Amino acid sequence: MSARPDSESIDGLTAGVIAGGAMMVAEMVMARILGAPALSPIRLSSSIVIGPAALSETYPLVTALAVGIGAHLLLSVLFGTIAFQALALVGRRNSRAWALLAFGLGYGGLLWAVNYLVVGTFVLRQFSAVDLLWNGAVPHVLFFGFVLGICAAVGRPRPGGEPTTER
């Protein structure tokens, strides 16, 4: 086994960072629209590691931001890598762009369901305090999943082995 990561892992890692960044910005904008502080999604991410205390305005902001951004980035990289490995496992990295976009949307929906409806209900109960549609489903599906699908579509291999941006 080679110590060098495969292209799906590198592509998934990169796509996870891009999609995770887009999702975090969307969550922050959505939080402001809904009347919450813009940094509340980062505090929510930090609560995965620190616990519900990270959600308090009295908890040190710098610590909450560092831990929250780190946790969000780590999970984004993990979920992006899993998605690209899954596509490679079933031999779909070279699918048509629309199929990869649809995969991304479905994958984002699956992540939302698992993260908010299962883990948020039974383990991290602080996740049930946010708006499940606007702070949960929309960012996961449209800003993580769809962006992940775009990354997969843009970088998909062609029969000759080179990535393509053709539809």
pLDDT band at 1 (very low <50, low <70, confident <90, very high): very low
* pLDDT tens digits for range 4-26: 557 888 999 999 999 999 999 99
Q: What is the pLDDT of residue 2?
A: 43
Residues 6+ away with beta carbon under 8 Å from 141: 105, 108, 109, 112
* pLDDT tens digits for range 43-102: 999 999 999 999 999 999 999 999 999 999 999 999 999 999 999 888 777 778 899 999
Q: What percent of the chain has pLDDT over 70?
A: 89
Q: What is the pLDDT of residue 125?
A: 85
